[in-house]
């Protein structure tokens, strides 16, 4: 299964990222992973949080927020670990829209968040090829 | 160093341009009486409006009697779309020009050959006053097409017998090549585009002074003495102002001589008045107010007391150039919210309508007009909300382009669309500030 990612629209203005994070902190929502995609005028803050539903409700009062399905996989924390997963998707014509690393206290594995143009297909491919897909209830709504 | 030579300038039609004020007034009255009668008899709109005001053409016994006549406004022109204000029979129309249309209804003006001749005469006067002669080349880089744009300057140059080059706008590299290769003696375009050309030469390591240009008529947008000084110094030319509007005849209603103390109105063809835009009273000589024009000689679409919404003032004393025609100062503002951006007329309402029609957008928006370098730019800020926000930069960029495209379709020029966070733009509390013009015209 895929996990839920929170996306927040941020204008490239002083204090906006802080404001979004401050909103989450005030309600004790933990951020497990975070990435920012930015253009010259705006950015998209992408997060995996401990309570996506509550986080969305909080942030919506001030920000444009959406929830997207993403995949999180465990790869070997060694050269070529991620390359193998992406190679598999590439061979099967799946386009990866973005990727960022997931910060979690785990063992020798690195966690990577992936958004592709066909999450269902990607999920099946990765599972069938023995990649370890994170299916933590805590990250879903 | 200026390549402009004062000895090159001349008065194209001394008989008319240097008439004594008494003779001119007599001519104006004769023509006013004629055009009022002509409009009354040939245009139902004028017949109705004069009848409503209780005035007959015979009541015009002096120039002051023009004040008995009602005004005509832009709305009237739209309501008579396309040809209900035309006085001449259709077989006499030879050319049509049109504005972009603020509410989707453009103002369409059909010209008779007589009207084109008047237009050519007016711009020829302006071109003569910057020194255009028969053996000169005049590059016209105003737009060509439905807008009146560069057509008038072309006809004027041709009337003088000069070579007119209908460059139109854009394609800067070719503009530069033709300026230096032909070479052009004169260039007519918006002041900001002329400056842009000068900078483009500099970027290529060519001193604009080395281009043999001597001068030109610049207008179709608000500009300042600072811009003039910059333009004149960069190219080494005389940059003279030109004014006009499609509803009256197009650019050329008034043109500045080399003395540069206001634009001489072709008063034998266009009768100006200055009114208070609120009380609609005619103001005393020298007052600043809205300029109103009556066409005295046009046969296609005569306008009687057309409210331009342009704010200016008039000077009636004789100019050092020898012309006796009245001079109008630079346009200092508008009595409505019209913007002129890159020489194109834009009403904020046009942009608002596009935004209101898009269900995906909240009604909050802001228009920012600026001149980051030397060219105007419109930025339209709109809000993104929960429904429109997608977790994809490509989708957001696509959304921006979609809005920009719709706005361009409505106003005719490109804009930059910026997405803002929800609820971040000012809401209308009575009168929200929707338009911020950061350009400095003072």
Regarding whether B101 and B250 lie in a shared domain, the answer is: yes
pLDDT at B12 over 80: yes
The domains of chain A are located at 3-67, 69-139
Left, alpha or beta for B286 (phi > 0: left; psi -120 to 50: alpha)? left
Asked if the C-beta of A22 comes within 8 angstroms of chain B's C-beta atoms, the answer is no
Nearest to B216 by CA among B299, B128, B278: B128
Q: What per-residue confidence (pLDDT) applies to B126?
A: 98
Asked if the C-beta of A20 comes within 8 angstroms of chain B's C-beta atoms, the answer is no
Cα–chain center distance at B359: 35
Contact B384 A62 (CB under 8 A): no
* Total residue count of chain A as it appears in this document: 141
- Residue B221 near residue B195, CB atoms below 8 Å: no
Neighbours of A97 (CB within 10 A): 17
Range of weakest confidence among B193-202, B328-337, B422-431:
B422-431
At A106, is the pLDDT very low, low, confident or very high (cuts 50, 70, 90)? Answer: low
Q: How far apart are CA B349 and CA B337, in angstroms?
A: 9
At A139, is the pLDDT very low, low, confident or very high (cuts 50, 70, 90)? Answer: low
Q: Is B230 helix (H, G, I), strand (E, B) or coil?
A: helix
User: Is residue B442 in some structural domain?
Assistant: no
- Residue B296 near residue B35, CB atoms below 8 Å: yes
pLDDT at B413 over 50: yes
Regarding whether B427 and B291 lie in a shared domain, the answer is: no
Mark which of B336, B356, B374 sits at the end of a domain: B336
CA gyration radius, chain B: 23
In the predicted model, what is the mean pLDDT of residues A20-41? 90
> Nearest residue on chain A to B383, judged by CA atoms?
A64
Structural tokens at position B114: 């007589």
At A8, is the pLDDT very low, low, confident or very high (cuts 50, 70, 90)? Answer: very high
Distance set, CA B257 to CA A112, B111, B131, B363 (Å): 72, 27, 10, 47
Structural tokens at position A98: 């973005």
Are both A3-67 and A69-139 of the same fold?
yes
Asked if the C-beta of A99 comes within 8 angstroms of chain B's C-beta atoms, the answer is no
Which residue among A11, A16, A37 places its CB closest to the CB of B393?
A: A37
The domain A69-139 is placed in CATH, from the list 3.30.2130.10, 1.20.58.760, 3.40.50.150, 1.10.760.10, at 3.30.2130.10
pLDDT at B430 over 50: no
User: pLDDT per residue over B118-131, tens digit each?
Assistant: 999 999 999 999 99
Q: What per-residue confidence (pLDDT) applies to B254?
A: 98
Regarding whether B291 and B357 lie in a shared domain, the answer is: no
Mark which of B321, B336, B351 sits at the end of a domain: B336
Regarding whether B315 and B271 lie in a shared domain, the answer is: yes
> Shortest Cα distance from A97 to chain B (angstroms)?
8
Q: What per-residue confidence (pLDDT) applies to B428?
A: 54
Q: How far apart are CA B434 and CA B356, in angstroms?
A: 14
User: pLDDT per residue over B335-367, tens digit each?
Assistant: 787 888 887 888 887 888 888 888 888 778 899
Q: What per-residue confidence (pLDDT) applies to B442?
A: 58
Q: What per-residue confidence (pLDDT) applies to B275?
A: 97
pLDDT at B236 over 90: yes
Q: Is B241 helix (H, G, I), strand (E, B) or coil?
A: strand
User: Is residue B1 in some structural domain?
Assistant: no
Mark which of B306, B336, B366 sits at the end of a domain: B336
At B82, is the pLDDT very low, low, confident or very high (cuts 50, 70, 90)? Answer: very high
In the predicted model, what is the mean pLDDT of residues B133-137? 98
At B372, is the pLDDT very low, low, confident or very high (cuts 50, 70, 90)? Answer: confident
β pairing state of B238-245 and B215-219: parallel
pLDDT at B103 over 70: no
Asked if the C-beta of A2 comes within 8 angstroms of chain B's C-beta atoms, the answer is no
What residues are paired with B189 via a beta bridge?
B218
Residue B380: its H or E element: strand B377-383
* CATH number of the domain enclosing B241: 3.40.50.12780
> In the predicted model, what is the mean pLDDT of chain B?
92
Neighbours of B101 (CB within 10 A): 18
- The CATH code of the domain at A3-67 is 3.30.2130.10
pLDDT at B185 over 90: yes
Structural tokens at position A136: 């933590």
A66: chain B residues, CB-CB within 8 Å: 386, 389-391
Q: What per-residue confidence (pLDDT) applies to B364?
A: 81
Structural tokens at position B204: 């290529």
Q: How far apart are CA B190 and CA B141, in angstroms?
A: 8
Contact B393 A44 (CB under 8 A): yes
Q: How far apart are CA B331 and CA B442, in angstroms?
A: 11
pLDDT at B265 over 60: yes
> Nearest residue on chain A to B385, judged by CA atoms?
A64
> Nearest residue on chain B to A117, judged by CA atoms?
B392
Q: Which residue has the tokens 């013009």?
A: B437
Nearest to B307 by CA among B276, B348, B339, B345: B276
Regarding whether B152 and B15 lie in a shared domain, the answer is: yes
What residues are paired with A5 via a beta bridge?
A68
Domain that holds residue B418: 341-437
Structural tokens at position B198: 């000068």
Within 8 A by CB and 6+ apart from B49, the residues are: B70, B72
> Nearest residue on chain A to B391, judged by CA atoms?
A7
Contact B389 A7 (CB under 8 A): yes
Residue of B407 and A40 predicted with greater confidence = B407
Order the strands of the B215-219 sheet from edge to edge: B163-166, B137-140, B186-188, B215-219, B238-245, B250-256, B263-265, B327-328, B314-315
């Amino acid at each position: 299964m895929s996990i839920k990612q929170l996306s927040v629209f941020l204008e490239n203005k002083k204090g906006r990222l802080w404001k979004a994070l401050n909103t989450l902190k005030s309600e004790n929502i933990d951020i497990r992973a975070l990435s920012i995609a930015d253009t010259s005028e705006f950015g998209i803050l992408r997060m995996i949080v401990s309570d996506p539903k509550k986080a969305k409700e909080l942030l919506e009062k001030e920000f444009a927020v959406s929830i997207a399905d993403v995949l999180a996989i465990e790869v070997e924390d060694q050269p070529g670990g991620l390359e193998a997963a992406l190679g598999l998707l590439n061979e099967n014509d799946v386009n990866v829209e973005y990727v960022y690393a997931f910060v979690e206290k785990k063992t020798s594995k690195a966690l990577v968040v992936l958004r592709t143009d066909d999450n269902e297909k990607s999920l099946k491919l990765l599972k069938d090829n023995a990649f370890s897909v994170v299916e933590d209830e805590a990250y879903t709504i | 160093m200026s390549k402009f030579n004062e000895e090159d300038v001349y008065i194209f039609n001394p008989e008319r341009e240097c008439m004594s004020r008494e003779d001119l007034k007599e001519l104006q009255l004769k023509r006013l009486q004629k055009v009022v009668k002509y409009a009354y008899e040939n245009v139902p709109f004028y017949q109705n409006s004069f009848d409503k005001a209780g005035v007959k053409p015979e009541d015009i016994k002096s120039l002051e009697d023009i004040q008995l006549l009602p005004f005509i406004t832009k709305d009237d022109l739209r309501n008579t779309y396309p040809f209900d204000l035309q006085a001449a029979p259709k077989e006499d129309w030879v050319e049509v020009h049109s504005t972009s249309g603020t509410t989707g209804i453009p103002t369409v003006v059909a010209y008779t050959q007589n009207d084109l001749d008047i237009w050519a005469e007016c711009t020829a006067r302006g071109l003569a006053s910057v020194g255009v002669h028969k053996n000169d080349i005049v590059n016209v880089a105003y737009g060509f097409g439905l807008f009146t744009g560069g057509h008038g300057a072309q006809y004027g140059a041709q009337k003088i017998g000069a070579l007119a080059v209908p460059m139109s706008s854009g394609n800067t590299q070719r503009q530069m090549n033709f300026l230096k290769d032909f070479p052009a003696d004169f260039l007519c375009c918006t002041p900001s585009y002329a400056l842009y050309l000068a900078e483009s030469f500099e970027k290529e390591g060519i001193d604009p002074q080395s281009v043999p240009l001597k001068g030109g008529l610049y207008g179709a947008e608000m500009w300042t003495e600072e811009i003039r000084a910059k333009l004149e110094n960069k190219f080494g030319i005389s940059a003279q102002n030109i004014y006009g509007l499609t509803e009256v005849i197009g650019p050329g209603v008034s043109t500045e001589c080399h003395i540069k103390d206001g634009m001489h109105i072709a008063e034998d063809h266009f009768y100006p008045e200055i009114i208070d835009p609120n009380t609609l009273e005619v103001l005393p000589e020298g007052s600043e107010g809205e300029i109103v024009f009556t066409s005295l000689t046009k046969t296609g679409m005569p306008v009687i007391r057309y409210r331009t919404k342009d704010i200016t003032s008039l000077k009636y004393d004789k100019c050092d150039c020898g012309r006796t025609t009245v001079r109008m100062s630079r346009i200092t503002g508008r009595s409505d919210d019209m913007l002129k951006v890159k020489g194109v007329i834009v009403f904020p309402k046009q942009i608002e309508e596009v935004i209101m029609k898009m269900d995906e957008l909240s009604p909050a928006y802001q228009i920012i007009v600026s001149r980051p370098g030397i060219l105007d730019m419109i930025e339209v800020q709109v809000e993104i909300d929960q429904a429109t926000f997608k977790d994809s930069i490509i989708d957001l960029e696509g959304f921006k382009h979609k809005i920009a495209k719709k706005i361009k379709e409505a106003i005719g020029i490109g804009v930059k669309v910026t997405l803002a966070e929800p609820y971040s733009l000012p809401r209308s509390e009575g009168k929200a500030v929707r338009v911020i013009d950061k350009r400095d015209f003072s």
